[in-house]
Chains A and B, each alone.
Chain A
Amino acid sequence: MMAQIQHEKDRLDLTPKKFVMWLFVFASFMIFAAFTSGFIVYVGGKGHGINVILPDVFKYSTAVIIISSVTLFLASRAAKRLEFGKQRLFLWLTFALGILFCAIQFDGWYILTNKMGIYFVNPNAARSFIYILTGVHILHIFAGLMFLLGALITSYRNKPQAINLYRMEISSIFWHFLDIIWIYLYVFLLLNQH
């Protein structure tokens, strides 16, 4: 009997799975670190730079993603307090803000190309890097939205609270990471505008 209980405990222990998410975060971080280091090597070696003021919309997207982190935090707090209605509301809000973030990023690309004439295919690869950094980040945002959807579905399905909290936690780890990475990328680009 003891062994059976022990066995069940093996199965329900979600710590290793949460740790998997942390490791995934490290791996993603390395991709962005590689791109930004690549940028530095490129700019340092070739004497090219971005040499243009970035469109203001990226400020708005930064604000949006910061707010989405706050709403996600509120959703997690609601989940811990067993206020599931509130949890779902804030999760939907976070999800909507995530979509809005993508929309603003795409608008940023639109302004860059159509208004400023800065294209992805560019003899100055420093400018191509703007698209690479934002684009790879948006791919991660899509993955983050999937995690948020997963958390939402779990919360609607009356799963055990441990599973609910686990889904909340892994989506939070990833989403806050994406928030921080965006701030890092934006500051990096701002510092390298000239």
Chain B
Amino acid sequence: MSTLAIHDHGVAGHDHDHEHHHHDTFITKYVFSQDHKMIAKQFLITGITMAVIAMLLSILFRIQLAYPDKSFPLLETLLGRFAPNGRLDPQFYLSLVTIHGTIMVFFVLTAGLSGTFSNLLIPLQVGARDMASPFINMLSYWFFFAASVIMLSSFFIQKGPAGGGWTIYPPLSALPKAMNGSELGMTLWLISMVCFIASSLMGGINYVSTVLNMRTKGMDLWKMPLTVWAFFLTAILGVLSFPVLVAGVVLLIFDRSFGTSFYLSDIVLNGKIMPYEGGSPILFQHLFWFLGHPEVYIVIMPAMGISSEVIAVNSRKPIFGYHAMVYSLIGITTLSFIVWGHHMFVTGMNPFLGGVFMITTLIIAVPSAVKTFNWLATLWRGNIRFTPAMLFAIGLVSFFISGGITGIFLGNAALDINLHDTYFVVAHFHLVMGSAAIFGMLAGVYHWFPKMFGRLMDEKLGFLHFWLTFICAYLVFFPMHFMGLDGVPRRYYAMTEFPAFNHWLSVNTFITWAAITAGLAQIAFLYNFIHSIFWGKKTTQNPWNANTLEWTAPVEHIHGNWPGEIPTVYRWPYDYSKPGHDADFIMQTTPLSETMSSNLPHDFEDNPAGLQQYNEWAKTQRSSEEVK
């Protein structure tokens, strides 16, 4: 039959691979590696480090919110002039909020998530030896590393890091004299982000080119796992939207340092009238959010892809609505470019234009709901295995629902007048893109850890990590909805100073303790992660009995991924629990000719010769049954 193929070249190719190992020195293997698997680990470990730092920053400002009047001498010991007399400096508080947001959104959930899993999984799951351009891939990591170092270095300068919020709206960010957080710290922020964007673009361009050009034999687009679809569409989003942020940032740099007036107009600074004229701060918001909104999908889509895969594998069921899942990802990708205005409802936007953005925004609920229902339908009556990865994937679904529903409130131009810049927004995006995306990322770490390090992570610690983090995340973010509905504004250093918000102090204290508990829960993860790298249980080649190509590659990492020929793909990646087959999974590399008892006429849609053979086989099967 036409799908038959014989793999008899396996041994011959091995010598050839072997040659490449001779050239590896410590530098080329661990530092300036061009191997996608090593680059993925570099991204992951840098991403986790940045995540821990950003989490500690959040705990610092949570302490301020819970105890605005208390002095903690320890803080002064740790932070020096940033916490005089044991109380956080108000300007430093703003810096903490800004850098927490920047690191989490860009460095953890964009580079740490896409960088890790696109690098690891795209070549392994589409069947390629490496990325389209391994050299650019390496550059991508080192630009990211440089960006991280520059961003963190701003903690060691006199005026402290950038403090204008992660959206760095002008005029505040364009006037260095406006506050400490707009001085050198802001310059470093801008330099760091330019490096970061360069890194993202190099990565994204590579991912797209690899997916489109380097798939193995038989791997057509509709046989790709949903992870690859998600990474692919995410990369397209990045390639089209990050350059727009470059444009916005370039103009901001000229306003800051050269005295142009793109964003500045009618400014009075410290009682002095500034010479700027005619600029438009709204222009920056347009340019920023044209990236900024696709950015939130750059954050969530890889997590969605990972969850789809993890949920299907651990429910031992095909993903429900594979095509619908892909089309909804494409829908989200397209729609994400025409909704940026919903961040700007209160900028004095024409109400008609606001209506347009409101409609496009609410339409995004449709593909999002399609995905959610499909995950739930995949879980429905599955043979669920509650591995830590599975728990985190289900956690993503939970957060995506509870955070997504409030998006419908916020996307409404009229309701947004009330809710804009309150804790309701904070609650919304921390659930829907913060917690959900980080849970997707953790699901990926637990699931593909054996692929990355050849060892398994400890399950018990994984469960502890999941339940503590899951419960605490809800305890932290759920009460914020009510604060927001009451009008409590975000980013305030001491909002309980206002009598109207005074009664929220007890809630703030509660949230802070939940946040500290969640922070402590991460120790379980970090210990598990580091310990398992060196001393974890050795893994088998396919520990989760999954179908996708990465599990056909040997456990030991070799340059080029597979010894000998790259395996050919014959079927989609979700043949789990297929009726008539003896095992509850069939690898993508298993030809249909080897699984006659479980084939369906549907499997031969583009393959008339195969269908004919199948029909003949079915006929003989029937006649032999009649004999019995």
Contact = CB atoms under 8 A, between A and B. Distances in A.
Contacts of A37: 286
Contact of A128 (B239, B262, B287, B566): B262
A123 interface: yes
Contact of B261 (A1, A45, A123): A123
B242 interface: yes
Contact of B283 (A20, A30, A41, A128): A41
Contacts, number: 134
Given A20-B209, A26-B239, A46-B278, A4 B259 contact: no
Contact of A30 (B244, B560, B564): B244
Given A125-B262, A128-B254, A38 B276 contact: no
Nearest to B130: A10
A20 B132 contact: yes
A3 B280 CA distance: 61
Interface in A1-35: 1-4, 6-7, 10, 13, 15-17, 19-20, 23-24, 26-28, 30-31, 33-35
A46 B281 CA distance: 11
Contact of B276 (A34, A120, A123): A123
Contact of A10 (B129, B239, B260, B277): B129
Of A27, A42, A124, the most chain B CB neighbours within 10 A belong to: A27
A31 B250 CA distance: 10
Interface string B274-298: 0111111011001100100000000
A1 B8 CA distance: 10
Interface in B217-260: 239-244, 246-248, 250-251, 254, 258-260
Interface in B361-377: none
B16 interface: yes
Nearest to B246: A31
B214 interface: yes
A48 B241 CA distance: 27
Nearest to B214: A16
A34 B244 contact: yes
Nearest to B259: A121
B565 A27 contact: no
B287 A38 contact: yes
Contact of B240 (A3, A20, A26): A26
B10 A3 contact: yes
A188 to B, nearest CB: 15
B136 interface: yes
B12 A27 contact: no
B133 interface: yes
Interface in A174-194: none
A128 B213 CA distance: 41
Contact of B16 (A3, A20, A122): A3
A125 B260 contact: yes
Given A123-B277, A128-B262, A19 B16 contact: no
A122 B277 CA distance: 8
Given A3-B16, A4-B13, A34-B287, A16 B261 contact: no
Interface residues of B, number: 51
Contacts of B261: 122-125, 128
A128 B259 CA distance: 11
B201 A15 contact: no
A35 B275 CA distance: 24
B360 to A, nearest CB: 17
A46 B263 CA distance: 11
Contacts of A132: 250-251, 254
A136 interface: yes
Given A15-B213, A41-B283, A7 B560 contact: yes
Interface string B130-143: 00110010000000
Contacts of A7: 13, 16, 129, 560
A185 to B, nearest CB: 13
A6 B97 CA distance: 53
Contacts of A30: 239-241, 243-244
Given A38-B287, A121-B260, A23 B205 contact: yes
A6 B282 contact: no
Contacts of B250: 132, 136
A128 B205 contact: no
B133 A20 contact: yes
Contacts of A45: 280, 282-283
B336 interface: no
Nearest to B9: A3
B284 to A, nearest CB: 9
B206 interface: yes
Nearest to B132: A16
Contacts of A1: 9, 12
B199 interface: no
Contacts of A31: 243-244, 246-247
A27 B205 contact: yes
B132 A124 contact: no
B378 to A, nearest CB: 33
B194 interface: no
Contacts of B119: none
Contacts of B208: 19, 23
Nearest to B210: A16
A22 to B, nearest CB: 8
A3 B244 contact: no
B201 A16 contact: no
Most buried by A among B136, B208, B241: B208
B280 A6 contact: no
B247 A48 contact: no
Interface string A58-84: 000000000000000000000000000
Contact of B286 (A6, A17, A38, A46): A38
Contacts of B74: none
B565 A6 contact: yes
Contacts of B201: 24, 27
B77 to A, nearest CB: 46
B212 interface: yes
Given A41-B280, A46-B280, A123-B276, A34 B247 contact: yes
A132 B242 CA distance: 18
A23 B209 contact: yes
A27 B243 contact: yes
A16 B133 contact: yes
Nearest to A30: B243
B142 to A, nearest CB: 18
A166 to B, nearest CB: 12
B260 A2 contact: no
A27 B287 CA distance: 15
Contact of B251 (A15, A23, A33, A38): A38
Nearest to B244: A34
B16 A48 contact: no
Contact of B279 (A13, A16, A125): A125
Contacts of B564: 3
8 contacts: A27-B201, A30-B240, A31-B243, A34-B247, A34-B248, A37-B286, A41-B286, A136-B250
Given A27-B243, A125-B280, 14 more contacts: A1-B9, A3-B565, A6-B13, A7-B16, A13-B213, A16-B214, A17-B132, A23-B208, A27-B205, A38-B287, A124-B277, A124-B278, A128-B261, A132-B254
Complex A-B, nearest 5 residue pairs according to Cβ-Cβ distance, in ascending order:
A3-B13, A123-B277, A16-B132, A34-B247, A30-B243
